[in-house]
Amino acid sequence: MLARVICLAIGYVCGLFQTSYIYGKKNGIDIREHGSGNAGSTNALRTLGKKAGALTLLGDCLKCVVAILIAKMLFASHQGEDLLLLELYAGAGCVLGHNFPFYLKFKGGKGIAASVGLLVAFDWRLFVICAVLFFGAFFLTHYVSLGSLLAYLGFVVALIIFGQMGTYDCTQPALYEMYGVAIGLMLLAYWRHRQNIVRLIHGNENKIFLRKKR
């Protein structure tokens, strides 16, 4: 239990690096006072342009990768299911730090870009599945939020399928704990996107076009 708490704390500290907030401050604005009002890569893209969006996405991904790598090094003596769980807890902590940074009055992003870093560092196969779901939904609809929500659902479903197939070589209790953490992250993402979900239902969600319309 102590190791789990430590990994959550490591992740939370890494998640406090708010890429879009820092980039916005360098450009004389508080990103949270513009656009959708959150410190995430999509709002950075809409508010500050493609460069800001790309840098925010990269920075938010990397901080979660770093959190998981630190957990791996710190608990290198742990093997198998224990280490996998600790990696997942570190990633979850990073998402929490990104979403709820204490020094910004707990007003951060929605955790999608940080979650991409979690997938990359935890299991690249999950990343590929989620990337296909995200880009498929995005290029068909131009809704970033819809792609993000589908990708998170795909993450949970794929993790459970892989787990039950024996991919992670874990005991069933350990797998159940992994599923619980993943489901918790998905529910958090859906809650953070609750306004987007309402707009999607009513058909007035903002679309993003990577190319200018002629």
d(CA 150, CA 165): 22
Q: Tokens standing for 72?
A: 């791996």
From its phi and psi, is residue 169 left (phi > 0), alpha (psi between -120 and 50) or beta?
left
d(CA 43, CA 197): 16
From its phi and psi, is residue 36 left (phi > 0), alpha (psi between -120 and 50) or beta?
alpha
Signed CA dihedral, 12, 14, 20, 25: sign only: positive
d(CA 99, CA 90): 14
The tens digit of pLDDT for each residue in 62-120 reads: 999 999 999 999 988 766 668 889 999 999 999 999 999 999 889 888 899 999 999 99
Q: pLDDT: is 28 or 5 the higher one?
A: 5
29: nearest Cα among 50, 47, 49: 47
| 38 band by pLDDT with thresholds 50, 70 and 90 | confident
pTM metric for this prediction: 0.88
pLDDT value, residue 162: 95
Q: Within 10 A of 58 (CB to CB), how many other CB atoms are there?
A: 15
The DSSP-derived string for 81-111 is HHHHHHHHHHHHHHHHHHHS-GGGTT----S
Residue 145 pLDDT greater than 70, yes or no: yes
